[in-house]
Chains A and B, each alone.
Chain A
């Protein structure tokens, strides 16, 4: 990790908060109602942000802390009343209770408040003055595992559970599930599973709770999985948490599934367990090889700056660099402990910092806030991350495994080519 930018203020930030990461994690559980314990604005900003990003209605409620409850309530009243009001209208399968900067600063007892609620509930501390998008997501997954998953002492063969990182798209989660089926697994789950909740589909009715995701009965029974796979540095610990429910579970961790080498390693690990790649997987590997060779003329000549969440940055950097992309700089919204050592100029920063280091950069990989910077400096922009407001269809894009990596290389090469004409 490089030097932290020496400035007191964050200008044009792309760091997202812990409660926002928690929200997304809860939206991957079917019938869940995320309940943010804070002033109404935290939930409202989050709702509007994700509604525009996903182009879908987003289920979320708030304890709506006001001037009086901010001082006199320790959380019990706000949480209790909120649950009462929610369950008057609907019956969520789960209430996902999480805190914000306000309620953590005043020291509310979330566990205590949750213990007085009769509906199924999970609680997690996610102040927005600590951590960020990735940690909010992973803390929530850990809380769900610790508080909901039943301990087991036996294993169901050929049952696997994937724990994705917060930046994985709906299609990436789905492709990974399919990949495991193609390798011979019979039952594959994802925790959380946004591939059936935030994938952008026309449902029968737009519900007030999370419309898709892993069902509670499967969530609670995850501890007899033969294998748990964690994808991304931020969720590694979640795999360990699940293993704590049953020591017989195998835990495979991958910092990234972007590109050929990472996917090869993934397949090898599964082969070691006795699983076999089918024809589809083999075919896509051959297509990726071809894609790498087809695109390396273009990609190999260009310099990239990536400004994304750490796990997303790593995955995309891995895939692009295999075709020769010069990854000149990676800017992260948060400090990370490890995982990006192979890359140079990895720093923590904001989008103001980025605009100052673009001299040798051809392609910026970042979210929609990067648009004006890219235009102003005549750079190509590969849109990834959060938020993406204008561009459509990003939930149904994959950048991982053999297939997604090939698509990413083509998209990148085409973007550069078009930009240069």
Chain B
């Protein structure tokens, strides 16, 4: 079980910006006014990308059955891609009354026999945490029996939201995985990626660039990750958090325990990608490395600029309104500006204080930070004469009513927008939207409404 002190600590992360002035807990969901996933979902998002591991969820039907094979977290793992599978003990009323300890043990046996994973993550959920299923005991016994790591994740949904669940996942690997092995060799430029889940292959847009410079990714938590490598993560020289505020706890603790410094970066857009690479390089304070980095970046930026030339004319003078949440509220501003669009407003109602600060920085004094996008959005579009709205599906009607182009940025994306290469993908999508006649035609008045 999670100790009370751990839970408290995770709620009150000292590295969170909202804790600079006064101590406040990160989140407490409000009944009837809550959106977003639970702690289990957060843990799942953080850990499922380990494709070499089985993820057994000790739960009834909703937790996994509605969520497996829904995230495009890509992997190069050659075996069965367990990222795209669902394993659940499918708790029934009978299990609830008589206990499901044996069922869980048999499930581990079954998975070991049929899939021989590198490790098994066992998750408790609301129902099994409530009834006090002892997943730790099962893990302990089975690890001894099979000689394969069995990692428990105590992530019942009722302990918090998605971010909190990510922290719980971080806690699980800190206590049970990291430090269990030594790497075969180390280099002075070993880093860990934390919070990069490689959705649509995002990390492949920049890892090869880092390698070209001479930086090695020792382990990844958890995009295209391997559990064996994560065991060696304590030997990295730097932790790189990729758009992952929820995992600052993990970075801070690794700093306290193994003295690994950490930085937080984003790889969306040309400027941010360059900044991210330079931040990483700067952390090593190495002249030769810096020189190599500048050369590689110059090359990459040049190629990126050349690829974007065909779009220059189309994007010139085009005004965009952005309505999304979290780090996207500023990282997409940066990416759009890199493409040559003028971002006139971005929503900040679903952003943290850090995000808002950054959004202000990127959008400048002329841009508007929308606190109530539902109300602000239509007004800003009219006032500024915006050409394109980038938002979630709910805002489609606003775009149509104003007869402007629309890009659904909250939809599960099918293609990577990360790094220099991803910016080109983003450019294509924005260009396609601007040139598509559908928004004009679909918003036409009906014959009987004229």
Contacts and interface: CB of A to CB of B under 8 A. Distances in A.
Interface of A: 7-20, 35, 38-49, 51-52, 55-57, 61-67, 69-70, 77-79, 81-86, 100-102, 105-106, 127-130, 132, 202-206, 369, 372, 389
Given A44-B35, A47-B35, A64-B34, 12 more contacts: A8-B106, A10-B90, A20-B66, A39-B38, A42-B38, A42-B62, A45-B63, A45-B66, A48-B67, A52-B412, A129-B61, A206-B393
Contacts of A67: 7, 158-160
Contact of B30 (A7, A42, A47, A64): A64
B67 A49 contact: yes
B111 interface: yes
5 contacts: A42-B157, A46-B62, A63-B31, A129-B60, A202-B400
B263 interface: no
Q: Which 3 A-B pairs have the closest CB atoms?
A: A41-B38, A82-B32, A39-B157
B32 A10 contact: no
A47 B393 CA distance: 13
B38 A44 contact: yes
B235 to A, nearest CB: 35
Interface string B65-109: 111111000000000000011111111110110000011001101
A47 B63 CA distance: 13
A260 to B, nearest CB: 35
Interface of B: 7, 28-41, 56, 59-70, 84-93, 95-96, 102-103, 106-107, 109-111, 126-127, 130-131, 156-161, 393-394, 396-397, 400, 412, 442
Contacts of B33: 61, 82, 85-86
B67 A8 contact: no
B38 A49 contact: no
Given A101-B91, A205-B397, A13 B35 contact: no
Contacts of B62: 17, 19-20, 41-42, 45-46, 100-101, 128
A28 B30 CA distance: 26
A62 B65 CA distance: 19
B86 A11 contact: yes
Contact of A102 (B7, B56, B66, B126): B126
A202 B442 contact: yes
B157 A41 contact: yes
A45 B41 contact: yes
A204 B397 contact: yes
Contact of B158 (A39, A79, A129): A39
A11 B130 contact: no
Contact of B93 (A11, A130, A389): A130
B3 to A, nearest CB: 14
A372 B117 CA distance: 20
Contacts of A18: 61
B29 A129 contact: no
A41 B103 contact: no
Contacts of A65: 126, 158
Contacts of A101: 59-62, 91, 126-127
Contacts of B400: 202
Interface-central residue, A7, A17, A52, A66, by most chain B CB under 10 Å: A66
B379 to A, nearest CB: 16
Contacts of A84: 32
A7 B126 contact: no
B32 A85 contact: yes
B159 A66 contact: yes
B142 to A, nearest CB: 13
A16 B65 contact: yes
B64 A13 contact: yes
